[in-house]
Amino acid sequence: IAGITQAPTSQILAAGRRMTLRCTQDMRHNAMYWYRQDLGLGLRLIHYSNTAGTTGKGEVPDGYSVSRANTDDFPLTLASAVPSQTSVYFCASRDTDRDTEAFFGQGTRLTVV
Amino acid sequence: KQEVTQIPAALSVPEGENLVLNCSFTDSAIYNLQWFRQDPGKGLTSLLLIQSSQREQTSGRLNASLDKSSGRSTLYIAASQPGDSATYLCAVRAGTYKYIFGTGTRLKVLA
């Protein structure tokens, strides 16, 4: 089934540890996004990529990095996790050439303790 | 700065009722507006996408309208069912990559 796959589904992480959240899509969408969702704040954009090889900063990029080595994968890395990064993380993609709707993964629930 | 507001934050209705969810945005310069459904602990499922040049979109019991000039969109759900219970989010696309989300309306349809 075509779509976006995120891994892991949930994770408890000790503060200071490094963590990579994985995101893979099989729709050949050129644009991919990472959001975090926090109660009362809605979804906020962390980083985005308009095409393989390019990335950009969103609204809340500090403490996060991304890479886009190919069309399908867009991993999000927390270099040294802090408790304020406890959140639900969503990966999304869309085809900007055809101006499609955005498709979302099922999310990764991350708790930093 | 674009802001997206959804009112009410929560809504309970009896089964079978027709209902309207509201989404308002402060800047009319949008590319499109998308309505999503989110079930507890799950991701976002796209319901309807309205381009800035369109006035409405329909899918089954759902109808979404867009009035750019007044900065408003509504999601109309006909003959609501308990399975419609979820949080409904609207998002405006304000740039190639820039989506601005509302904080959602939590809907509960009572059997």
How many contacts, defined by CB atoms under 8 Å, are there between A and B?
52
Confidence of residue A70 (pLDDT cuts 50, 70, 90): very high
What is the maximum alpha-carbon separation in chain B? Answer: 42
Q: Residue A95 has which token pair? A: 């085809």
Shortest Cα–Cα distance, B46 to chain A (Å): 7
Q: Residue B6 has which token pair? A: 């959804």
- Asked if A43 lies within 8 A of B51 by C-beta distance, the reply is no
The DSSP line for A1-13 is --SEEEE-SEEEE
pLDDT of residue B88: 97
Per the CB < 8 A criterion, the answer to whether A71 and A30 are in contact is yes
Which of A45, A96, A99 is the closest to B99 by Cβ? Answer: A45
The neighbouring-strand residues paired with B1 are none
pLDDT of residue A98: 83
Contact list in A for residue B104 (CB cut-off 8 A) is: 42
Per the CB < 8 A criterion, the answer to whether A65 and A82 are in contact is no
pLDDT of residue A93: 95
B36-86 pLDDT, tens digit per residue, is 999 998 899 999 999 999 999 999 999 999 999 999 999 999 999 999 999
- Asked if B43 lies within 8 A of A90 by C-beta distance, the reply is yes
Distance of alpha carbon A53 from its chain centroid, rounded?
16
Handedness of CA B99, A100, B37, B52 (dihedral sign): positive
- Cα angle, residue A72 at apex, residues A83 and B50 outer, rounded to 5°: 85
Q: Residue A70 has which token pair? A: 């190919």
A5-42 pLDDT, tens digit per residue, is 999 999 999 999 999 999 999 999 999 999 999 988 88
